Amino acid sequence: MKCSQVRRKLSAYLDGEVSERDKKEIDGHLEQCKGCQEELAALSSVSDSLGIMAGMEPPSYFMTRVRQCIREEVKPRPFLGKVRSIVFSAATAFAVVLSLIIGNQVGRILYQSVAATGESQTAETTDVFGVGTLDEFPAGSLSDIYNELVAGGNNG
């Protein structure tokens, strides 16, 4: 093994994670190579210095906290959960279809009634705003004078 190959494996070598064959090769290389020995010492020193990082103990009440949480959890039984899910889906689909049918019927009824009242309203509108009605302006009003002028113009 070359130095570059050995150095890439030194970390795993330190952790005892190389194959027997690699271990023998690395051992043999290290006996002869001072540079790789120093590299190994440096990596080993890094591992040692990490040991300074303390861990953290769980507080005594942690279990109580977790227990409270899981008791608050509602855990439906698998079968009931599935049935509930199917019933909910079916009910939702039924509600959507029903609302479409009702909406369609209501829309149709409204359209028909509007169409019926629309015809009579058109007739009334003609009566109210018909030309005959608009002809009768108060005597002397601007509209009356205009009408007379127009009528005179037409006649003569």
Partner 1 sequence: MTIIGTTEDTDGHLIHLAANGDEQAFERIVHKYQHAVFNTIYRYTGSREDVQDLAQEIFIKVWRNAAKFKGKSKFSTWLYRIVANHCINYRRGRRKDHVSLDELTEKGITPESLRVEPDWETGRKVEKVRKAVDELPDRQRMALVLSQFEGRSYKEIAEIMKVSLSSVETLIFRARSSLRQKLAKVV
Tell me which residues touch partner 1 (CB under 8 A).
Answer: 8-12, 15, 17, 42-43, 45-50, 52-59, 62-63, 65-67, 69-71, 73, 75, 78
Least distance in Å: CB of 47 to partner 1? 7
Neighbouring CB atoms inside 10 A of 13's CB total: 19
Beta carbons within 10 angstroms of residue 151's beta carbon: 11
Kindly tell me which of 56 and 123 has the beta carbon lying closer to partner 1: 56
Q: How far is the CB of 115 from partner 1 (least distance, A)?
A: 59
Q: How far apart are CA 107 and CA 102, in angstroms?
A: 8
Tell the smallest beta-carbon distance from residue 76 to partner 1 (Å): 11
Judge residue 26's burial from the number of C-beta atoms within 10 Å of its C-beta, 0-12 exposed, 13-18 middle, 19 or more buried.
Answer: buried
Terminal alpha carbon distance of the chain: 125
CB of 70 to partner 1, least distance (A): 5
If the CB atoms of residues 9 and 29 are measured against partner 1, the closer one turns out to be 9
DSSP 3-state percent helix, strand, coil across the chain (nearest 5): 80, 0, 20
Q: Based on CB atoms, which residue is closest to partner 1, 67 or 108?
A: 67
Measured from the CB atom, the residue of 69 and 142 that comes closer to partner 1 is: 69
**Min separation Cβ 40 and partner 1, Å:** 11
> Are 12 and 18 a contacting pair, CB within 8 Å?
yes
Nearer Cβ to partner 1, position 38 or 135? 38
